[in-house]
Structure 1
């Protein structure tokens, strides 16, 4: 009986430790992206708060909002193979900004670095860092 208990305990401990393993950047999926993020731009005067949720229509995609000061805009995007793409909109229809970045290796999906640009055309491009709160 004691041996069965020890085997069950060892199996449970192994499963718990497997769940706590930090995923490789290319393994980060939607689930790790959900929640509150802090955005910092190369211009230290500009920062924001990003809230990411499951997209209502597209199962593996993200949606949410970016808030910079008093301005709040809707966003939608995805993470695939460690690459992060997010589009924001000033009017809820057209793309007004594009975030292109990569999950930082060793961050367990809690940090993304890349470039934000106006309309995705490289205008007013700024480096950004997103950190999960």
Structure 2
């Protein structure tokens, strides 16, 4: 049904399907995780084995400006992702080595964003993370053209 402005209404966030979030995303952490940059790029695609799930990768610039090597030791500049979108909630496990989980993402699709914005928290669960690693707020915005 068209909205008053004449454009089509968005699919409600809780009804979005995994295929509707495939594409390239910009990620912004506020504040930046310790030893990692405040910005990242994420590609979300269809999971190769589980068609109702998503997979992809997150890329970060781990140059010298992001802190000392020890604080980012558990993270690679490109890490694998796998997870699910259910009822508007996006959960992703991040793995820098393809074996163990090094980060967890828990986000919620923003209502009215037409599947183009997610807000949530990321947690460092790598071997170099402190025992009391905080949940770091993030915002993801889908890059136009996807």
TM-score (structure 2 length as normaliser) = 0.73
Deviation per residue, 1:86-117 (Å, 9 max, x gap): 11001101100000011001001110000000
> After alignment, is 47-56 or 37-46 more displaced?
37-46
Counterpart selection for 2:46 from 7, 31, 54? 54
Cα deviation, residue 124, structure 1 = 3.4
The residue that corresponds to 2:141 in the other structure is 131
Counterpart selection for 2:106 from 87, 100, 113? 100
Cα separation, partners in 2 of 1:122 and 1:102, compared to 1, 3 Å: farther
The residue that corresponds to 1:23 in the other structure is 11
Say if 2:29 is the partner of 1:35: no
SS of the aligned residue for 2:19 comes to helix
The residue that corresponds to 2:125 in the other structure is 119
Query: How many aligned positions are there?
Result: 115
Task: Decide which structure has the larger Cα Rg and report it.
Answer: 1
CA distance in 1, matches of 2:29, 2:45: 22
CA distance in 2, matches of 1:28, 1:123: 31
The residue that corresponds to 1:68 in the other structure is 60
CA distance in 1, matches of 2:102, 2:140: 19
Cα deviation, residue 122, structure 1 = 6.7
CA distance in 2, matches of 1:87, 1:32: 19
The residue that corresponds to 1:79 in the other structure is 85
Bigger proportion of residues as helix: 1
TM-score (structure 1 length as normaliser) = 0.80
Cα deviation, residue 43, structure 1 = 2.1
CA distance in 2, matches of 1:43, 1:118: 13
